[in-house]
Chain A
């Protein structure tokens, strides 16, 4: 099955700086890669996703890049704000008929004022 690894596990940045979170996946047939943000005690919420037919997608201060050859994808947050502090999870959809998301272990992002 799919295996997703996520780094770093914790990340602290100064307000206004950029943050980058990286994930690798094992199944070369995976074709959908969402990112979720989870605030403390709350449910994960989809913030951005990318499909394997594109290399980059942007939504205001958030961008995701995908390198299919190397089987890795990254989340980029620019001009970070305190409200960006949360746990971020990457995920990849498994291939085959039984498709479900496999999640990375999460990154605790702290934006320091």
Chain B
């Protein structure tokens, strides 16, 4: 996956349950991002982190939480407060905030509420 790994590939969540999506990169990138993709729509930013132990809300952060305890890892938790979590979730990383080399994406996690 080009140095950025997302797991699991498919995830099923019951109503009222929290689930955590994993994102790990071995590219030594400083910045990491979480995007949500719905059918026929673009990528919407959930959270991003430019440095360890710091992260910022994106456009649709409600119902989600993240942590950045290690440079390599940026897990996303989808909480029960997220009322419509079924979507394709993409993690990305960049060396410098994306200005010189763009983003590298993981292969995604497809989350379905059952």
A residues whose Cβ falls under 8 Å from a Cβ of B: 1, 6, 9, 31-32, 34, 41-46, 49, 89, 93, 98-106
Contact = CB atoms under 8 A, between A and B. Distances in A.
B44 to A, nearest CB: 8
A99 B106 CA distance: 20
A89 B90 CA distance: 14
Contacts of B100: 32
Given A46-B103, A98-B50, A100-B58, 8 more contacts: A1-B59, A42-B107, A43-B108, A46-B102, A93-B98, A101-B98, A101-B102, A106-B40
A6 B42 contact: yes
A97 B3 CA distance: 26
Contact of B97 (A1, A34, A45, A100): A100
Given A43-B90, A43-B108, A99 B97 contact: yes
Contacts of B41: 105-106
Q: Chain A at the B interface: mostly helix, strand, loop or mixed? A: loop
- Max count, chain A CB within 10 A of own CB: residue among B99, B100, B102, B105: B102
9 contacts: A32-B98, A34-B98, A41-B108, A45-B105, A89-B43, A98-B56, A99-B98, A101-B33, A103-B35
A104 B42 CA distance: 6
B19 interface: no
A101 B44 CA distance: 10
Contacts of B42: 6, 89, 103-106
